[in-house]
Amino acid sequence: MKFVNYLPDQSYLSHKSEQCRHEYEKLHREQSHQNFMVELAHKLVSEAPQNYLCFGPYWWIVKSVLIKHGYAYCGQLEPVIAATYCGRDANGCVDTDASLIAAFEFADRYNETELRRVREFDLEGTESHYVLMDHFMEFGIG
């Protein structure tokens, strides 16, 4: 598989995440920007489980981050998609802040331009569409 659509712009994300961290932490000393973003993602999804669809292919990195931060999400993960649709630091490691910023920016575009609850995404630029389906989020089964 060669993904070509909806890919993150790593340079933009690096700059944006640094800017967001700086601005947030200047105003809020009680918690980190990362923890704020994680809580926000959890809140959005826990309010209505099918909200996970708005993250599109970024859902898998969001779910991975939520699990790493101790939230009780289970079921399958899509490691290849998560490794592609995420933010990375200068060393090529996954950057949680940049990943969540990318996911929320995707969600903003999705909510503005797509029909809500769309689960098919053309990741490869072909007629074949990736179908986003998380059985845990849909049916509560892992």
Listing DSSP states for the chain in one string gives ----SS---HHHHHHHHHHHHHHHHHH--SS-HHHHHHHHHHHHHHHSGGGGGGGGGGHHHHHHHHHHTT----S---HHHHHHSS-B-TTS-B-HHHHHHHHHHHHHHHHHHS-TT--EE-SSSSS--EE---HHHHHS--
pLDDT at 77: 95
Does residue 63 contact residue 85 with C-beta atoms inside 8 Å?
no
Q: Per-residue pLDDT tens for 58-99?
A: 999 999 999 999 999 998 999 999 999 999 999 999 999 999
**Rounded Cα gap, residues 7 and 3, in angstroms:** 8
Q: Per-residue pLDDT tens for 18-57?
A: 999 999 988 998 889 999 999 999 999 999 999 999 999 9
Count of alpha carbons within 13 angstroms of residue 121, beta-carbon side:
23
Does residue 81 contact residue 91 with C-beta atoms inside 8 Å?
no
Q: How many residues does the chain have?
A: 142
